[in-house]
Amino acid sequence: MGVKSPRFTVLELLNKMDKQAYSNIALDSALEKSGFSDIDRSFVSRLFYGILERRLTLEFVISVYSSKPLHKLDASVVNILKMGLYQLLYMDSVTDSAAVNESVILAKQCGKTSAAGFVNAVLRSFIRGGKEITFPEDSVERLGLEYSCSPELVKKLCEDYSFEQTEDLLKASITPHKTFLRVNNLKISSKKLISEFNALGISVKVCNITDNCLEAEKLGGVERCELFQQGFFHVQDLSSQLCCKVLSPRSNDTVIDLCAAPGGKAFTITEIMEGRGKVIACDIHSNRVNLIKKGAERLGLLIEAVKNDAKVFNESFPQADKILCDVPCSGFGVIRSKPELKYTDLKTISRLPEVQYDILCTASKYLKPGGELVYSTCTLNRDENDNVIDRFLNEHKNFIPVNIMEEYGNKGYKITIFPSDFGCEGFFLGKIRKDEL
């Protein structure tokens, strides 16, 4: 075929996701090659991410209205039905007739002409039924289908937290979320940057939860924004900015960020330190170290970005005043940004706590007496959070807990942040200090 339509592009992306891919990388690559207008790019992004967010819900509807079992349907046909159903349910800008007709056309375009009638029948039957979805009465099963999350993960979250907290998290995973920016205070003030954005017709406002943080609306194509290119800000969720605030680095400190790529927290740490001191930002992969270097260069920040295995002690590293140990994790706190994580097989992440513990133990060896370390993840899995840092404190008597975020009502040395708390991503933070004796 000639130029691919936006819907055909979404179908290709969904088929790629069926074979395992990272949603953000797949989408960015497809849009870069597409030549689509901003309107079409927005449509592709909305439809693609929306289907990933609602995958189990859409599959449930197909199973109700299809004359054939879901597992016996062609994978492309299933994805076309998901596209049609998503437009019928969640995209007011698309008429019912357009959603059906375009789905039928798509079936023919991708070589599934024999299935075109079936696609038409399923979608029109759903419309005749009033587009109503009747979920099961079982509360856990309902959560999984209504908010499209694997039953296994729903049960795990309900075990770790309350049913209400789990529902709040899953509800947040399918609702629009804020975009937070970190102002590069070494180049510009928040007030001045807001003025510059307003001049471009972009709406931003001060976030009062932490310093030099802004909330932005409809900030599409940020890399093309002149203010971004000039290094006046970087995009960083509020949860990550709070992580840096809890670390509380000071000017002239030596700070090591052991799992730093793509570098956002290292950038914020350097800005908090007003560019004075030493920040070492690490990653195990060379290409990701280069991402840190490029970001620091754009922002005009002096950061030492190095390739390093966080599990192995590096004798060349200096003793540090502050260490950020933001370990690799299952990512269940960021499921609204990476919806495919809602379908993770929990067996595949069973080894993570041991890896995280090894990294934390190695990180602690770089700390000066009296120095402080923040252990953080972007997951809400207690096995990776509370259990790891509690185990560390039990086995390392020369470390003591440090109370954090007391100004927000927290009591203790650790906190689990839910999207409902500050409107940001889910996150875990714990802080410890090395005894000076």
Query: Which are the catalytic amino acids?
Result: 378
- Per-residue tokens: 335: 């499921």
Closest CA to 232 of 202, 276, 277: 202
- Interhelix angle 116-128/55-65, rounded to 10 degrees, is 90
The answer to whether 366 touches 323, Cβ cutoff 8 Å, is: yes
